Amino acid sequence: VGIHEATGYKVAVKILNRQKIKSLDVVGKIRREIQNLSLFRHPHIIRLYQVISTPTDIFMIMEYVSGGELFDYIVKHGRLLVANQFCMYYVVSVFLSSLLRSRFQLKTPEARRFFQQIISGVDYCHRHMVVHRDLKPENLLLDEHNNVKIADFGLSNIMTDGDFLRTSCGSPNYAAPEVISGKLYAGPEVDVWSCGVILYALLCGTLPFDDEHVPTLFRKIKCIRVDEDSDFPNSSVAACSWELFFFSDIHEFVLAGVFPIPDYLDKPLVNLLLHMLMVDPMKRATIKEVIAHEWFQKDLPAYLFPPVNESEASIVDIEAVREVTERYNVPEEEVTAALLGDDPHHHLSIAYNLIVDNKRIADESR
């Protein structure tokens, strides 16, 4: 953590040793993260203010968030259990299952709020032709007001019309079947799958595909295929109930698209999950379809999806400009010129952005 001297605001400082990143062969990963983050201006994507290079180190000056990882929040407030524990609780008694839900499950409004912010950020990335490819709760940070900030764009990639990706990357528990299989994929669809897994984790407190603590994946489920004509038109994904079912490893489990659906999830939510966790990427929900879904639309804040012509930061905050002029003792014209110039890391631009971001965070917390 660092302090921006002119404004007094906290910033996060990511220090990268050049020799170390070269030995770990992550130079390309770091370069992609810097390139993509420097382009983004979104309330739910971590902000990169400045990059300082020295002969030995690279310093990434980033937005400071104090709430930790969403993963830790789920563990603390939810019930993120390993697969065999999850099954055991359901077998012990219905009463215990109900008790666990009432005590440890994230409330639906809170989970929906997190999910809406995540999808807003992912949609912004896709509209700017960037696919994240490693979305998971560990890469979703929370600020002091529990607002989500998407971070770690090291595995992200620029999308080009007509081009397909083949790189198998990301975390297996959140990776789409086509990524695990090494098949060609366009990009956005793999982020949709990962978001579906995250939504499941938020509301169920466990992962749909998990064998983190056991070598063999053993689920107490019975596959019930869903007809195309049903309310859940998802023939390639299985809805499940509690009977014995076995897969040799997590790859087989994910590729089969089989996961347990707890009975306390309501019908619209199950519909959304089944569409997002569709094994066939051509049938999987798109980001636009997720946004339009009735479960997602409930209590949706207007600021998350502003009209396109208002989504870019084209309006200068006059109060922030005046604050910069006072702190640096420069004329307003000089600050405006810095904002309109080609150098996003100009010291006046950095100060302006810090002031605007902290002002927005303060306004949202009221």
Q: Residue 59: in which H helix or E strand, if any?
A: strand 57-63
CA distance 17 to 56: 6
Q: What is the CB neighbour count within 10 angstroms for residue 147?
A: 18
CA distance 68 to 90: 31
Contacts of 104 (CB under 8 A, 6+ apart): 77, 78, 79, 205
Measured CA distances, 63 to 12, 173, 343 (Å): 6, 28, 18
Q: Clarify whether 211 is annotated catalytic.
A: no
Contacts of 168 (CB under 8 A, 6+ apart): 175, 179, 180, 182
CA distance 230 to 313: 44
Burial of 10 (0-12, 13-18, 19+ CB in 10 A): middle
> Any idea which residue has 């770990």 for tokens?
24
Secondary structure (3-state) at 60:
strand
Q: Residue 322: in which H helix or E strand, if any?
A: helix 318-328
Q: Say which of 123, 134, 191, 210 is annotated catalytic.
A: 134
Catalytic annotation, residues:
134
